[in-house]
Amino acid sequence: EAQVTQNPRYLITVTGKKLTVTCSQNMNHEYMSWYRQDPGLGLRQIYYSMNVEVTDKGDVPEGYKVSRKEKRNFPLILESPSPNQTSLYFCASSPEPQGNSPLHFGNGTRLTVT
């Protein structure tokens, strides 16, 4: 089944403890991106990747890192999480970075930082 898989679905951690949220797609998509969703703010892009080894900042990149060593994987890294990073996170991919290329989203990771 074609899908975007995020892990874990739920994560509770403490301030400063490094964590990684994984994202994997099995559709050979070129474009991948990460979003956070907070009440009243909609979806805000954190980082995106146009292809392997090509990543760049979205609207809210502070406090996050990403890597794209393989086409299928795009992990989101929080080196030193803080409570303001408590949020619902989504990974998405599309065949190409083009207007007529719909995004496929994962089911989300709910992160709580205490």
Partner 1 sequence: LAKTTQPISMDSYEGQEVNITCSHNNIATNDYITWYQQFPSQGPRFIIQGYKTKVTNEVASLFIPADRKSSTLSLPRVSLSDTAVYYCLARSYNTDKLIFGTGTRLQVFP
Q: Is residue 90 near partner 1 by the rule CB under 8 A? A: yes
Out of 66, 106, 111, 113, which residue is the one contacting partner 1 (CB under 8 A)? Answer: 106
The interface with partner 1 within residues 28-67 (CB under 8 A) comprises 33, 35, 40-45, 48, 50, 56, 58-59
Question: What's the length of the chain?
Answer: 114
Answer yes or no whether residue 100 interacts with partner 1 by CB under 8 A: yes
Beta strand 42-51 with 31-38 is antiparallel
24-39 exposure pattern, b = at least 16 Cβ within 10 A, e = fewer:
bbeeebbbbbbbbeee
Closest distance between partner 1 and the C-beta of residue 5, in Å? 11
Q: Is 107 in the site for partner 1 (CB under 8 A)?
A: yes
Which residues contact partner 1 by CB under 8 A? 4, 33, 35, 40-45, 48, 50, 56, 58-59, 88, 90, 92, 97-108, 110
